[in-house]
């Protein structure tokens, strides 16, 4: 990794805890004579230590993206850099923080390690979602964690079918489905009963949301497969598609949602000594009554 000279900084700066850590980042990078980019519409006072640019330019102009907050903030930052190949460092001011693993007290040391190329680079695949509408329009987006199909009408199930690599899999009834990458297996898919998947595995998890049939279980398929989802033609059948929590569009019975591996990838930066199973033990409170084997 080339030593960064320009860093972009993002976060929900109206949160005092996030703003406090962001100010610490600004101050430390100023001592290292690093240019810091902030969204021109952002709420963080920069005391003249940052350059204000439009949001869409952050990923293009930065050598390093720094996300301060929770995993949602990091997913937002990933969307800004996904097409630019810019590495991403997450500072945890959220709750669980599976993706943002630098703690506030470690900000100076972690920033120095990032600037000196001493952090662990962890390349993660992305999902590419395409929403093909009956009229010919196509909406596209990338997702680091998941692509989610959910019902729009409260209290009403949706009926839909899934295909993997052109093969019919199942007809589902329920609240929707989560199509998660290995990275996203610890997010929404996990709350739907899906498995935890080691991030370097090339697989995708399909987790039905509140399925009407108890035998409709999560399945794991190759990430090289194309997954298709179609609504069945029922009265008032309509659903919504989101990519990492951002709305892609509405799905109606004549539309097709297609999900496949993206050409782009995201590089996450971790502190030295980062280990995935240690992270799981910490976040999920495993192994409290036993030692290492």
Where are the extended beta strands (E) located within the chain? 6-11, 35-39, 51-53, 64-69, 88-92, 120-132, 138-143, 146-151, 158-164, 167-174, 176-181, 203-209, 219-222, 227-231, 239-243, 246-251, 256-270
Residue 265: count of CB within 10 angstroms of its CB: 13
Q: Which domains does the chain have, with CATH numbers?
A: 6-119+271-284 (3.40.50.10330), 126-265 (2.60.200.30)
Q: Which residues contact 58 (CB under 8 A, 6 or more apart)?
A: 8, 10, 37, 39, 65, 80, 81
Tell me the pTM. 0.93
- Rounded Cα distance, 72 and 82, in Å: 15
Instruction: Average the pLDDT over 64-79 and give the result.
Output: 96
pLDDT in tens, 120-162: 999 999 999 999 998 899 999 999 999 999 998 777 899 999 9
pLDDT-based confidence at residue 289 (cuts at 50, 70, 90): low
Mean pLDDT, the chain, as a whole number?
Answer: 93
- Residue 272: the pLDDT is 86
pLDDT of 273 higher than 90: no
Instruction: Average the pLDDT over 21-33 and give the result.
Output: 96
CA angle 6, 98, 19 (to 5 degrees): 50
Q: Which residues contact 16 (CB under 8 A, 6 or more apart)?
A: none
- Residue 156: the pLDDT is 84
pLDDT of 81 higher than 60: yes
The residues annotated as belonging to the active site are 71
pLDDT in tens, 214-242: 999 999 999 999 999 999 988 878 899 99
Instruction: Average the pLDDT over 105-109 and give the result.
Output: 95
- Rounded Cα distance, 67 and 188, in Å: 21
- Residue 24: the pLDDT is 96
- Rounded Cα distance, 73 and 60, in Å: 18
Q: List the beta bridge partners of residue 172.
A: 160
- Mean pLDDT lowest among 3-12, 75-84, 229-238: 229-238
pLDDT-based confidence at residue 291 (cuts at 50, 70, 90): low
- Residue 285: the pLDDT is 87
Q: Which two tokens stand for residue 259?
A: 């999900």
- Residue 135: the pLDDT is 86
Q: Which two tokens stand for residue 70?
A: 């929770």
Instruction: Average the pLDDT over 261-266 and give the result.
Output: 96
């Amino acid at each position: 990794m080339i030593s960064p000279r320009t860093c972009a900084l993002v976060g929900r700066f109206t949160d005092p805890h996030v703003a406090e850590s962001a100010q610490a980042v600004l101050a430390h990078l100023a001592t290292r004579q690093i240019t810091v980019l902030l969204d021109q519409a952002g709420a963080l006072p920069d005391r003249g230590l940052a350059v204000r640019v439009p949001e869409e330019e952050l990923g293009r102009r930065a050598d390093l993206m720094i996300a301060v907050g929770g995993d949602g903030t990091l997913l937002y930052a990933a969307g800004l850099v996904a097409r630019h190949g810019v590495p991403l460092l997450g500072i945890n001011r959220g709750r669980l923080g599976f993706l943002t693993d630098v703690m506030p007290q470690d900000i100076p040391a972690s920033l120095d390690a990032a600037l000196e190329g001493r952090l662990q680079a962890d390349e993660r695949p992305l999902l590419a979602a395409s929403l093909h509408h009956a009229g010919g329009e196509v909406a596209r987006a990338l997702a680091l964690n998941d692509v989610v199909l959910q019902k729009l009408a409260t209290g009403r199930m949706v009926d839909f079918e899934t295909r993997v690599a052109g093969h019919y899999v199942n007809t589902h009834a329920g609240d929707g489905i989560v199509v998660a990458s290995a990275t996203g297996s610890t997010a929404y898919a996990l709350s739907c009963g899906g498995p935890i998947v080691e991030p370097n595995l090339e697989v995708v998890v399909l987790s039905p949301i509140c399925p009407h049939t108890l035998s409709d279980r999560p399945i794991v398929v190759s990430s090289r497969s194309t997954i298709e989802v179609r609504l069945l033609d029922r009265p008032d059948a309509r659903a919504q598609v989101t990519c990492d929590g951002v709305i892609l569009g509405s799905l109606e019975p004549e539309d097709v949602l297609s999900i496949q591996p993206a050409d782009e990838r995201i590089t996450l930066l971790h502190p030295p000594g980062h280990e995935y199973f240690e992270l799981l033990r910490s976040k999920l409170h495993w192994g409290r009554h036993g030692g290492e084997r």
